[in-house]
Amino acid sequence: MSESRQTLQFAAIKAGDTLPEREFKPDNVQSMLYNAALWNGHRIHFDEAYAKEVEGYPGLVVAGPLLGDWLNQCVEEWLGEDGRLMSIEYSNRIASYTGDTLYSGGEVVACREADGEVDIDVFIKNEAGEVITPGRAVAKLNA
């Protein structure tokens, strides 16, 4: 990302370190491009009348795996080229809607010296501060 970022080294990482937060404002255009890239025809993501009148949602639903992708990006932007995302798990708990403002972020929860890996709790929050998509990632720092 930025040219001036410092190399991330395992020895300098400790539990409690936070990952940079990022703001997202999913809109109709991004939603259309994302669901088209997937070939996802689920109407709750692009047919507002259907989402509201038939399914009873307050608006167009942001696709769950898009929120999952943002968790991956949160870890990868923090790692840069200094490590590798090994695994991630997440769960979509609370729905969010086109037009919402959402935030990604994370916190290191464990460092395992034996294998140079760190465990990171990651999240997507909504404007009310609720964690709508919690997750856990494992990253391995370059030796």
Contacting residues toward other proteins, per CB under 8 A: 1, 24, 30, 33-34, 36-44, 47, 50, 54-55, 65-66, 68-70, 72-73, 76-77, 84-93
Q: Which residue has the tokens 């990302």?
A: 1
User: Would you mind telling me the total number of residues written for the chain in this entry?
Assistant: 143
Per-residue tokens: 56: 């009873």
Nearer to other proteins, 24 or 103 (CB): 24
Smallest distance from other proteins to CB 65, Å: 5
* DSSP letter (8 states) at residue 82: S
Smallest distance from other proteins to CB 35, Å: 8
Nearer to other proteins, 10 or 92 (CB): 92
Smallest distance from other proteins to CB 52, Å: 13
CA distances from 94 to 30, 31, 43, 133 (A): 20, 18, 18, 7
Q: Which residues contact 110 (CB under 8 A, 6 or more apart)?
A: 15, 118, 119
Nearer to other proteins, 14 or 54 (CB): 54
